[in-house]
Amino acid sequence: MKLRDVDIIISGTKTGDTYYAKSYPCSDMDKNSKIELYGVPVYYVYIKGTDDKGQSVKYTWKALRFTPYYNPPNFSSYKTIGWVNSGLHKLNRQPAPEYKKAYEVHNTYSQHNGAIVLKGTFYIHAGPEDLTHIGWGAAGCVEIIGSFSEFKDQVKELSGSTQVDADSAISELVFYKKLYIEIEYATPPNIKANFYKEVSIKRR
């Protein structure tokens, strides 16, 4: 079966939900052994393509686009020092440059591996299972809310790939420049002003 184009669109449309995220890589700014949480907006993400009958299909997801980033001097290997509202404002539609099937989420545990590269070290990867699973963080990546494995399966479904699993199908799409990514413009929120509360939860 012929491989079909698949589009992943990170929209500029907010869902109206608020997610409570920690800053990353450092999540304890005042060094009191508690994690600060900040309210961040949630955005719609769409997977678009066609099915085996040539009918247009669109799957709708939710994701985190902008999250708090805090990296004090000598804390980590990340180059950017200090506080940043992390996340890409916009990215024109283009083929995804790479798929990292062995990627594991860094800021907390996730059973879902894999990352679709947007540009540089900005990826699309697994996020919290739902909005009540608070305390995730990121350094500018788009984190899909829900089952990232199901997200990948839907990409495979629309691709027409005959590969045995979603990771192999996405790798094939990227190789043949059939997986397109796009980030619609959105103005980053003032995350620091949306401080929520401190909590005592296990840090990774």
pLDDT score, position 26: 86
Residue 175 neighbours by CB under 8 Å, 6+ apart: none
Provide the residue ranges of all domains of the chain, joining segments of one domain with +: 6-195
pLDDT score, position 93: 99
pLDDT score, position 202: 59
Do residues 99 and 165 touch, judged by C-beta distance below 8 A?
no
pLDDT score, position 204: 46
pLDDT score, position 1: 66
Handedness of CA 132, 137, 143, 148 (dihedral sign): negative
Enumerate residue ranges in the chain where pLDDT < 50: 203-204
